[in-house]
Amino acid sequence: MGISNKIAIDVLLSQEMRICSIKAVVDFINQNAVAIINNLDKESIDVYNFLQKEFQQSDVEKNLVFQFLFRSFYRLDNAGLTPDFKSEYFRIMQEERSKTVIDLESALDRLYNFKNRQDNKSFQFSFVTKLFNTIDNSLPIYDSEVARVFGLCRPYQKDFKIKYKRLKEQLDLITEAYNAIISENLVHPAISLFDSKFKNHQLSDMKRLDFIVWSAGKVMSKEQQEKA
C-alpha cells in the first residue's frame, strides 16, 4: 500500500471514529436528558454568571473575591497546588484576556514550572482550559467528566510536548463535537429542559452545552458505579 493511500485510509478512519464518538455522546444525553438536567442546580448557574460579571468588570489578578469564588467553583483549592501557582494562574488570566489568539501551551508551560505541594511539576491541562473558557467560552472545558462522556483517557506520558499534543487533540475533538451538536440542534430534549429549569440563564449556547456535558459525565459515573 502506498503512503498516500495509507494516509487517506487513516483520515477516513479518524473521521468515522469522530462521527461515532459524537453519535454516542448525543445518544447518551438524549436518553438521559431528565437525569442530566435534574443533576444541575441554579446555584452553579448563578455563580458562573457572577464570575463572568466580575471578570468583565475587574482586574482578576487583584480581585480576591473573584479568585476565592473561582477557586471554589472549579475546585482549584483541592488539587494540591501552591499559592504561587494560583497567583501565576490569575496573573495569566489577566494577561491573556486582551489577546486575540488563545495559547494553551504557553500558559500550561508557565504553570508547569510551579511545583505542587508534593514538590512535583504539575500538568494542569483542565485548569488551563477553565482559565481560557472564562476569557472566551467558545473553547470548551476539558475535565474528567467531559472526558468520560467522550470515552477519552488522559495520557500518562511524562513528556510535556507529547502529553500536551494528545490532550489538545482530545480538546479539538470535543470542540468539533460541540459545534456540530449546537449547529444541528442534536440534543434538543436536554436544551429544552435546561431552558425551562433555568429561565433567563444568560448562558451562551456553548456554555450551556458545557454544563450539560459535565452533568452527563456525573450521571454516567453514577450508572457505572451502580453496575459495578
Averages of pLDDT over runs of 10 residues in the chain (228 residues) are: 40 47 90 97 96 96 97 95 97 94 94 91 94 94 94 85 93 93 95 96 95 96 84
pLDDT at residue 18 in the model: 59
Q: Measured at the alpha carbon of residue 129, what is the angle toward residues 10 and 79, in degrees to the nearest 5?
A: 115
Kindly report the pTM of this predicted structure. 0.88
Distance CA 182, CA 179 (A): 5
Beta strands in the chain (DSSP E): none
Helix (H, G, I), strand (E, B) or coil at 54: helix
The DSSP code sequence of 85-136 is HHHHHHHHHHHHTT-SS--HHHHHHHHHTSB-TTS-B---HHHHHHHHHHH-
Q: Measured at the alpha carbon of residue 103, what is the angle toward residues 100 and 106, in degrees to the nearest 5?
A: 140
pLDDT at residue 192 in the model: 97
C-alpha distances (whole Å) from 3 to each of 7, 9, 36, 120 are 6, 10, 45, 42
pLDDT at residue 134 in the model: 96
Sign of CA dihedral 135, 172, 77, 40: positive
Question: Domain extents for the chain?
Answer: 18-227
Helix (H, G, I), strand (E, B) or coil at 228: coil
pLDDT at residue 36 in the model: 98
